[in-house]
Every structure is written in structure tokens, then in C-alpha cells.
Amino acid sequence: MDQIQEHRERMAQVQKRLHQKFGKPTWHVELPAVDELVCTILSQNTNDINRDKAFEALKERYPSWEAVRDADPAELKYVIRIAGLANQKGPNIQTALQEITEERGEIDLDWLKQVDPEKARDWLVRLRGVGPKTAAIVMVFSLGMPAFPVDTHIYRVTGRIGLRPKDLDVTKTHAYMEQIADPAEFGSLHLNLIDLGREICQARKPKCGICPIRDLCQFEDKTNE
């Protein structure tokens, strides 16, 4: 059996166990693609609560994405400050909106639904502040496209469990996960792996004793906690 097939079979078992443990999760309120893009930029290096507060503040202050694009940069940074890294996120958001306008003549991403997923991904990652994870989140949760977002939790737990080659970097892990997981489950599996990483397979003190996939995991330093 080759490595990819082995990982596909392991992934199928992991997916089933996580579904039994955490249920079939749902994403936060489904957003239009531009909204999801901005929300995901805000989410970088912060928690969900502060991301949502910053996004709500942004929507309350500005009536449209055009208004955000053209806003005073200092004011925008102040509005989104609760999300942290406002000096980075503010310019990233405004530049991305400017780039969308320049390319399309308007701030809209729904047209991406009509193109090949790889072309959509390539187009998105050209935007300021948009990497593979942000592009994949927009694709799978707003555009209905097959894409598997990989964050720090997912990268850690997939390495420990043995769902990817150990030396595979984060960027290549996105594509690898898309090879071994069921496309129909990309979104729910992404969320369940994050829950596993946050609640059980934590970076410093994994709670291996209560892990629902302990017997499927190849982590060499399992704990009994």
C-alpha cells in the first residue's frame, strides 16, 4: 500500500471518530465571499471572539466595502484594533479591496464560482494579505469549492496523527489534505481537526488519555492525561 492510500484510509477513520466526538460542525454564519475574505484576514493571530467583534465594528462603521477601501487608514486601524495587528490588517484589507476593484471594476468575488478551483485559488492568493489558508476558507465556506484550509492546529495534529509526511511544510499540506480527505467533508473535517487541536491535542500538553483517536495516532510522546 502506498503512503497516500494509507493516509486516505487513516483519514477516513479519523473523520468518523471526530464526527462521533464533536458532531457535524457548522461554520459561523455563512458570509458572501468578500465578507469572508475580510473576516478571515481579521482572524489571523487572534481568537474568534475578537475577530467577530472587529468584523461587527467594521460593518457598523462603514456602509459598504467601497467605503472601507476608501477609508482613512488610521481610522480603519482604530475600528479593527480589537483583532490585533491593526497596522498590518488594515492596509492588507484596503489593498486587497483595491486590487479586486482594479481587476474586476467592482468589489465582488462571486464570479469565482464560475472558474476552475485552481484558478480561483491562484487569483485569491495574489491579493494582499491572502495566503493559502485564507484562500481555502473563502473557497470552501463561501464559494462552495473543494479546498482544505490548514491552520497551526491542523498542521500540528496531522503530523502527530500521521496523516501527512512529517517533512511536509504547511503550504504543501493544504494540497496533500485535499488528496487524502473526502471533498464533501473538507469543511466539517477542517473544523473538527481544529477542535481536536484546541481541546485535546494541544501543543504543550496533549490530553492523549481522552483522545478519541488515540489508537490511530502515531505520536511517539503520548501522555496518559
Q: Which of 16, 24, 113, 133 is catalytic?
A: 133
177 and 83 share one domain: no
pLDDT at 29: 75
Instruction: Read off the amino acid at residue 176.
Output: Y
Contacts of 106 (CB under 8 A, 6+ apart): 100
Mean of the pLDDT values across residues 29-43? 94
131 and 40 share one domain: yes
Residue 28: pLDDT above 80?
no
- 173: Cα separation from own chain's centroid: 13
In which domain, by residue range, is 165 found?
3-26+149-216
The residue among 26 and 54 whose pLDDT is bigger is 54
Determine, yes or no, domain membership for 57: yes
- Maximum alpha-carbon separation in the chain: 58
57 and 77 share one domain: yes
39 and 137 share one domain: yes
188 and 111 share one domain: no
Choosing from 113, 142, 171, the residue where a domain stops is 142
At 59-107, the pLDDT tens digits run 999 999 999 999 999 999 999 999 999 999 999 999 999 999 999 999 9
Report residue 2: phi and psi, to 5°. Answer: -80, 170
Residue 1: pLDDT above 70?
no
Residue 223: pLDDT above 90?
no
At 158-193, the pLDDT tens digits run 999 999 998 999 999 999 999 999 999 999 999 999
19: CATH: 1.10.1670.10
Q: Which three cell numbers stand for residue 159?
A: 503530523
Choosing from 126, 142, 158, the residue where a domain stops is 142
219 and 161 Cβ atoms separated by less than 8 Å: yes
Determine, yes or no, domain membership for 225: no
53 catalytically annotated: no
Determine, yes or no, domain membership for 224: no
Determine, yes or no, domain membership for 109: yes
50 and 82 share one domain: yes
Cα separation of 4 and 194, whole Å?
22
Report residue 205: phi and psi, to 5°. Answer: -130, 75
| Residue percentage of the chain with pLDDT more than 90 | 92
51: CATH: 1.10.340.30
Q: Which three cell numbers stand for residue 78?
A: 482604530
Determine, yes or no, domain membership for 100: yes
37 and 135 share one domain: yes
15 and 61 share one domain: no
Determine, yes or no, domain membership for 70: yes
Beta strand ranges found along 55-148 (DSSP E): none
> How many domains, the chain?
2
Choosing from 108, 142, 176, the residue where a domain stops is 142
123 and 166 share one domain: no
Beta strand ranges found along 68-156 (DSSP E): none
Determine, yes or no, domain membership for 176: yes
Closest-CA residue to 193 (of 150, 146, 154): 154
Cα–Cα distances (Å) from 22 to 49, 171, 214, in that order, read: 20, 27, 15
Q: How many Cβ atoms are within 10 Å of 218's Cβ, its own excluded?
A: 12
Closest-CA residue to 48 (of 56, 19, 22, 207): 56
109 and 165 share one domain: no
The number of residues making up the chain comes to 225
Determine, yes or no, domain membership for 221: no
137 and 42 share one domain: yes
72 and 173 share one domain: no
